[in-house]
Structure 1
């Protein structure tokens, strides 16, 4: 049976999403997060940290000032363990492809753009760092604003069109499958954001510039830690002398003695972490603060909303053959559940689930385990209740198909199904007016085709009449 896994993979991150909880301080260790203070500098002093935007299980994201361009960017700092840096390097390749393939394409502007990438050596290891354009809240935050009762239909249509344009660009022009489309991974672009940020962060920048540089800021400005032992008052003079001698020796002959270098970096790293957390006098990490579009303008601006697909941490090239588990549970396509081969059509299933959620405020499929069946069984049952028929590819063609289906193509573990039509779900459960329910159903169903070879593409969906009244 496939493993019970409700996440997309081991690398997905929510680039700049706010959470009521923050990352675990215990993850600031070897191979883990890089400790960051407001005012720290990265990439030889180019980027100054001003605020924390968010975090994921594999990185933290910070609002920084790019002193080279005098503009604000989002800095993503990935954990240092090899499996995270390897994934980050693959993500960078995908993002570079997105950036360079066709900037003139309409969909290009609806995918978050990588601006720069570099390495940063810290006390917990070597971290892959990426900078992105600064974006606002996610569609999940937008749903919260409407109390999970559904976003107005005309706004959803505008969002859907832009997401499909971005996805069409990823699929047709870049040859990339996103694999984790959901409201958290679509972010709102904020017009005139730089004017807002310059005003909003002016006081923070003044405080940073007025404060004397501390050990972390000097250390963050270079990957070599040449100023390593300065201002560490908590150690004895004799030990400080020994550390200075070791540092001098290191600078004269880098990497001639790896054991000595590792010992030195371990010592300095522990001192820096202790100094950071003790000086800030916190038992918790720095709280996140996302950019809310309502702080910048009125909600009328939502009528002209612009969104961008973000987080290619799980993305892959379309030319491969894949059967591994992808997609966050509620947006997972049936071919993935049964362990069949999948490709970019899986993204289309996720888009349909997401648009339904934007319209209603609730998941289209939200499986739960029972005493005699697991989440995958219930997920397939919920899909069959809506779609009624299941292609042979799913009942026999997946690695786990025989775990779910008998020889006649019926589910093994759940016998009683309550069949329903999508338009009835929209009308009866969510009180969508009949005409709107019919139109939305006609729009969504081609993306929910059980046979992925018949599932509509992003290019085809962009011709849908349901989208034509959007601008």
Structure 2
């Protein structure tokens, strides 16, 4: 399948510092004001932009500023890229408004008469607009095909959005968002997931991660006009006559003063699937992967809840719950068998032994476990509590706050998929009740 070659990359460094935050509105305003004064992340290596090798037959479309795509969209800035597409800020000449234009590489879907992503995006836009979760999803505005020197490219347009939550957390000293902001994000993400699972029959799966939870922008057109007037697009010198890279730039995003002013939308449906029709079986970012996926057992909508719990933990603590790293300190690939085995060992250290029935269902169980279903002695990690990990990174939180947050996470971090709470049930959890209510 064409999508199997598309690898997810770019997980953050596993080491994290510490920073104290309180969650009361009066203190949060001061914290956010300080965060607004911090510099934006700078380009740190050549891999912060797409490799030139991706511009080839079957690869990326060589897009330049000023290009007109689809006879309607004028490219004015580059917003970013991923392993199978680039994203551009473009002016819709038919409406005189700006859009985010995603241009997919040709080989990602070559030969497919209909994209599963397109079907899903069209369905979730119309399934039930009255559901609260409908407005928490970034919906597709337009789609078309564009022919270029490297092939035929599927293009989609979306409403321009602000920072993703990864960039947002990177603007803060220790990668820790105010707890109230994460509570508001959780509320909105649960609404989106409940809509996908119960109204649309869709599982988000592989790309549910901080980079695909985006902040809304107030007065979008004014922000973009001011941004375009104040900045000039920058190119990057590369050793190729046939390729001109453009530096990615974020649309400026002002952080709200209070948690209830945060507004997020969920995106990243490239390899989402129907509940009853899976696109691939090996899903999720490595560090967020659910136990049933690693073991090769059956999975369903509850994988999104496991993902969500890992995201909330990361945004509150600045730490990755399951690094999945190998014992070799130089190991960087989180998808090696060594790393997956260590990932399971980390789970066992936090939650105890894997249930026998889940292990029996796992088609990959012998890759990581002995014939008796137990972890090899050399891989055993000393047990520790989730509360202890939280307190270690957030000493500012009271014991009661830590206990409530731990209880909240554990309802989604159950080994057996059937034991996890649904998104609708999680909306009723005490931790989601924000401080000002």
Please indicate the TM-score interval, normalised by the length of the shorter structure.
0.7 to 0.9
Q: 1:377 aligns with which of 341, 355, 360?
A: 341
Residue 388 of structure 1 corresponds to 352
Residue 233 of structure 1 corresponds to none
Residue 66 of structure 1 corresponds to 92
- Alpha-carbon distance between aligned partners in 2 of 1:427 and 1:419, rounded to the nearest angstrom: 16
Residue 430 of structure 2 corresponds to 465
Residue 306 of structure 1 corresponds to 263
Q: CA deviation at 1:416?
A: 3.1
Q: Would you say 1:10 and 2:6 are equivalent positions?
A: yes
**Contact 2:272 / 2:279 at 8 angstroms: preserved in 1?**
no
**Structure 1 pair 116/455, CA: closer, same or farther in 2 (3 Å)?**
same
Residue 326 of structure 1 corresponds to 283
**Structure 1 pair 153/130, CA: closer, same or farther in 2 (3 Å)?**
same
Residue 170 of structure 1 corresponds to 196
Structure with larger RCO (C-alpha < 8 A, sep 6+):
1
Q: Would you say 1:23 and 2:53 are equivalent positions?
A: no
What SS does structure 2 have at the residue aligned with 1:409?
coil
CA RMSD of aligned residues (A): 3.0
Q: Would you say 1:419 and 2:415 are equivalent positions?
A: no
Residue 141 of structure 2 corresponds to 115
- Alpha-carbon distance between aligned partners in 2 of 1:166 and 1:453, rounded to the nearest angstrom: 20
Residue 33 of structure 2 corresponds to none
**Structure 2 matches for 1:257-336, cutoff 5 A?**
285-294=245-254, 299-300=256-257, 303-320=260-277, 324-336=281-293
Q: Would you say 1:52 and 2:78 are equivalent positions?
A: yes
What SS does structure 2 have at the residue aligned with 1:92?
helix
**Contact 1:188 / 1:308 at 8 angstroms: preserved in 2?**
yes
**Contact 2:317 / 2:394 at 8 angstroms: preserved in 1?**
yes
- Alpha-carbon distance between aligned partners in 2 of 1:37 and 1:50, rounded to the nearest angstrom: 9
Greater share of helix? 1
Q: TM-score, normalised by structure 1?
A: 0.76
- Per-residue CA deviation, residues 129-162 of structure 1 (Å, 9 max, x unaligned), is 0001111111001111112341111111001111
- Alpha-carbon distance between aligned partners in 1 of 2:169 and 2:253, rounded to the nearest angstrom: 13
- Alpha-carbon distance between aligned partners in 2 of 1:379 and 1:467, rounded to the nearest angstrom: 28
Q: 2:64 aligns with which of 26, 37, 42?
A: 37
**Contact 2:80 / 2:249 at 8 angstroms: preserved in 1?**
yes
**Structure 1 pair 11/409, CA: closer, same or farther in 2 (3 Å)?**
closer
Residue 78 of structure 1 corresponds to 104
**Structure 1 pair 425/200, CA: closer, same or farther in 2 (3 Å)?**
closer
- Alpha-carbon distance between aligned partners in 2 of 1:126 and 1:410, rounded to the nearest angstrom: 49
Q: TM-score, normalised by structure 2?
A: 0.82
What SS does structure 2 have at the residue aligned with 1:403?
helix
> Structure 1 segments of 4 or more deviating over 6 A?
280-283
Mean Cα displacement is larger for which, 352-361 or 388-397? 388-397
Q: Which runs of 5 or more structure 2 residues have no equivalent in the other structure?
A: 11-40, 329-335
**Contact 1:38 / 1:50 at 8 angstroms: preserved in 2?**
yes
Q: 1:129 aligns with which of 148, 155, 175?
A: 155
**Contact 1:12 / 1:313 at 8 angstroms: preserved in 2?**
no
- Per-residue CA deviation, residues 152-182 of structure 1 (Å, 9 max, x unaligned), is 1111100111111111111111111111211
Q: Would you say 1:157 and 2:157 are equivalent positions?
A: no
**Structure 1 pair 375/11, CA: closer, same or farther in 2 (3 Å)?**
closer
- Per-residue CA deviation, residues 332-354 of structure 1 (Å, 9 max, x unaligned), is 00000011111111111000000
**Contact 1:176 / 1:317 at 8 angstroms: preserved in 2?**
yes
**Structure 1 pair 455/341, CA: closer, same or farther in 2 (3 Å)?**
same
Q: CA deviation at 1:404?
A: 2.3
**Structure 2 matches for 1:92-111, cutoff 5 A?**
92-111=118-137
**Structure 2 matches for 1:433-444, cutoff 5 A?**
433-444=398-409
**Contact 1:136 / 1:187 at 8 angstroms: preserved in 2?**
yes
Residue 257 of structure 1 corresponds to none
Q: CA deviation at 1:406?
A: 3.1
- Per-residue CA deviation, residues 3-50 of structure 1 (Å, 9 max, x unaligned), is xxxx99727699xx9965211222222111111111111222x11111
Q: Which runs of 5 or more structure 1 residues have no equivalent in the other structure?
A: 1-6, 208-276
**Contact 2:323 / 2:343 at 8 angstroms: preserved in 1?**
yes
Residue 348 of structure 1 corresponds to 305
**Aligned positions, number:** 388
Mean Cα displacement is larger for which, 415-424 or 152-161? 415-424
**Contact 2:345 / 2:375 at 8 angstroms: preserved in 1?**
yes
**Higher Rg:** 1
- Alpha-carbon distance between aligned partners in 1 of 2:318 and 2:401, rounded to the nearest angstrom: 16
**Contact 1:404 / 1:413 at 8 angstroms: preserved in 2?**
no
